[in-house]
């Protein structure tokens, strides 16, 4: 809010819980306009705002009756007093205008409390009456803040995470100013992690485990561990990064794509028409993690130097344990898919991708399949990959079942991603 514009304030005095913020807005505005000392409801001995008095010739020479009785020097002194007077008059006008704005703001924002000041026209007395009527006791204020604090923790809105985090940070700051026992040390951190566990359980598990590990092994660990505000900032960045990449399915299989075309973005082996556009990397460019100089040491050319700002932003994003694990897993998977077999076998694989693994999709002849499986060192050969985002997995080989219980025939909907 602009310090000289009360009209932009949306805080209304609806009850004791609003008093502190409501009077704080008036305080800031009145201080900026140099009128707070005249209306401060906490000060019983307030000075009155009076209009400046115009200087007279008698102030320069008590015996003078008009200007003609003054010497040249005395006349200059009178002119100086008049200059000061004009400045004081302008200041007084500005202060009167500020008080008028405050009066309008009070009337517009006090709602049902208007009857408290209905018969009063002096702003200082109005604020004193409202303070006596609305301001909560210290105990009541602490209780009200605690109730709002725990109310915010109860139900974070998945669709409005940014708004919820702002509300959390606001009420936590308010509670910290009151030095409430409930928010001492790292209690807010633990409470926040529990609150977001339904939204991102992996995030909560990571930080709870990290907290327990540091508590056992690291002296003075609480001094460096993220507090309630910091952990909410980390979660907010994590949620934004997750939302930005949420449309990319984990372990998704694409038609006509082989092992080098899994959703980690590595498409080195296929230059055909089915190649997907490259995704956005953490560095802001369009390429795969394996091609990023910041993430993959193997991709860096000799003499390359990182941009410190980009490197800092990437490190902030990697504070999200889920995203960090995804990047590491992608880089490791890419490294495991690098050619290890003889060139003849590799050439054959480039022309006829493996079929039968979790990532296979292109049709090859039976002879090509046998040749590939006989020599390939592809680490996911004959493997089933669990999709953590799916509640149904289909297997066409009963020999791989640990146990088997027939069910009634059901239709299983499926689609290509």
pLDDT tens digits, 226-285: 999 999 999 999 888 877 765 444 444 433 344 444 443 334 444 443 445 788 898 988
Rg, C-alpha atoms of the chain: 36
How far is residue 193's CA from residue 232's CA, in Å, rounded to a whole number? 9
pLDDT at 46 (0 to 100): 86
How many helices (DSSP H) and strands (DSSP E) are in the chain?
15, 0
- Contacts of residue 180, defined as CB under 8 A and 6 or more positions apart, other chains included, come to 142, 145, 146
Characterize 122-140 residue by residue with b for buried, 16 or more Cβ atoms within 10 angstroms of its Cβ, and e for exposed: ebbebbbbbeeebebeeee
What pLDDT, on a 0 to 100 scale, did the predictor assign at position 69?
Answer: 82
d(CA 220, CA 213): 13
CB 389 within 8 A of CB 322: no
Instruction: Name the DSSP class of 238.
Output: H
Cα→Cα distances 364→352, 368, 394, Å: 6, 6, 22
Measured in whole angstroms, how far is the alpha carbon of residue 127 from the centre of its chain?
36
> What interhelical angle do 228-244 and 321-336 show, nearest 10?
40
Report field, pTM of the whole predicted structure over 0.85:
no
Which pLDDT value is given to residue 401? 63
pLDDT of residue 222: 87
Q: CA-to-CA distance for 286 and 140, rounded, in angstroms?
A: 55
Q: Residue 5's pLDDT is what? A: 67
pLDDT at 338: 58
Instruction: Show pLDDT as tens, one digit a residue, over the chain (417 residues).
Output: 444 567 677 789 998 888 888 999 999 999 999 999 999 998 888 898 899 999 888 888 888 888 888 888 888 998 999 999 999 999 999 999 999 999 999 999 998 999 999 999 999 999 999 999 998 888 888 888 899 899 998 867 777 888 899 999 999 998 998 888 888 899 999 999 999 998 889 999 999 999 999 988 888 898 889 999 999 999 999 888 877 765 444 444 433 344 444 443 334 444 443 445 788 898 988 888 888 989 888 888 888 888 988 988 888 888 888 788 888 888 887 776 655 444 444 444 444 444 444 444 444 444 444 333 344 445 555 666 666 666 666 666 666 666 666 665 555 555 554
| Sequence-separated (6 or more) residues with CB below 8 Å from residue 358 | 251, 253, 380, 383, 384, 385
pLDDT of 351: 42
- Residue 198 has what pLDDT? 87
pLDDT digits 0-9 by tens, 123-169: 999 999 999 999 888 888 888 889 989 999 886 777 788 889 999 99
b/e burial code for range 225-254 (CB count within 10 A of at least 16 → b): bbbbbebbebbbbbbebbeeeeeeeebebb
Nearest Cα neighbor of 253 from 391, 396, 360 is: 360
Cβ of 153: how many Cβ atoms within 10 Å?
18
End-to-end CA distance of the chain: 47
């Amino acid at each position: 809010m602009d310090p000289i514009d009360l009209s932009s304030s949306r805080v209304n005095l609806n009850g004791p819980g609003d008093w502190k913020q409501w009077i704080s807005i008036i305080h800031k505005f009145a201080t900026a306009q140099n009128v707070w000392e005249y209306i401060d409801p906490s000060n019983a001995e307030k000075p009155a705002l009076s209009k400046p008095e115009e200087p007279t010739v008698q102030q320069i020479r008590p015996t003078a009756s008009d200007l003609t009785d003054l010497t040249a020097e005395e006349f200059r002194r009178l002119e100086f007093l008049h200059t000061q007077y004009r400045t004081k008059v302008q200041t007084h006008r500005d202060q009167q205008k500020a008080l008028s704005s405050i009066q309008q703001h009070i009337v517009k924002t006090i709602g049902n409390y208007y009857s408290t000041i209905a018969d009063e026209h002096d702003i200082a007395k109005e604020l004193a009456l409202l303070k006596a009527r609305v301001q909560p006791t210290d105990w009541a204020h602490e209780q009200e803040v605690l109730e709002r604090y725990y109310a915010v923790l109860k139900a974070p809105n998945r669709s409005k995470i940014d708004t919820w985090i702002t509300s959390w940070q606001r009420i936590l700051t308010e509670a910290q100013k009151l030095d409430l026992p409930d928010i001492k040390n790292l209690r807010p951190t633990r409470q926040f992690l529990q609150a977001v566990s339904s939204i991102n359980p992996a995030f909560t598990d990571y930080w709870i485990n990290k907290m327990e590990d540091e508590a056992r092994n690291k002296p003075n660990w609480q001094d460096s561990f993220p507090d309630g505000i910091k952990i909410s900032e980390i979660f907010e960045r994590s949620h934004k990064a997750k939302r930005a990449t949420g449309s990319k399915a984990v372990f998704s299989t694409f038609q006509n794509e082989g092992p080098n075309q899994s959703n980690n973005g590595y498409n080195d082996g296929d230059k055909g028409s089915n190649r997907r556009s490259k995704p956005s990397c953490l560095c802001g460019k369009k390429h795969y993690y394996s091609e990023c100089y910041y993430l993959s040491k193997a991709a860096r050319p000799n003499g390359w130097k990182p941009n410190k700002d980009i490197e800092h932003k990437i490190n902030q994003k990697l504070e999200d344990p889920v995203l960090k694990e995804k990047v590491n897993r992608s880089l490791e998977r890419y490294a495991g898919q690098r050619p290890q077999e003889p060139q003849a076998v590799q050439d054959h694989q480039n022309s006829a991708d493996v079929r039968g693994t979790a990532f296979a999709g292109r049709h090859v002849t039976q002879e090509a399949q046998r040749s590939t499986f006989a020599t390939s060192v592809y680490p996911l050969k004959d493997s089933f990959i669990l999709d953590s985002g799916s509640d149904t997995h289909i297997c066409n080989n009963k020999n791989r079942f640990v146990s088997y219980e027939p069910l009634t025939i059901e239709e299983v909907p499926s689609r290509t991603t």
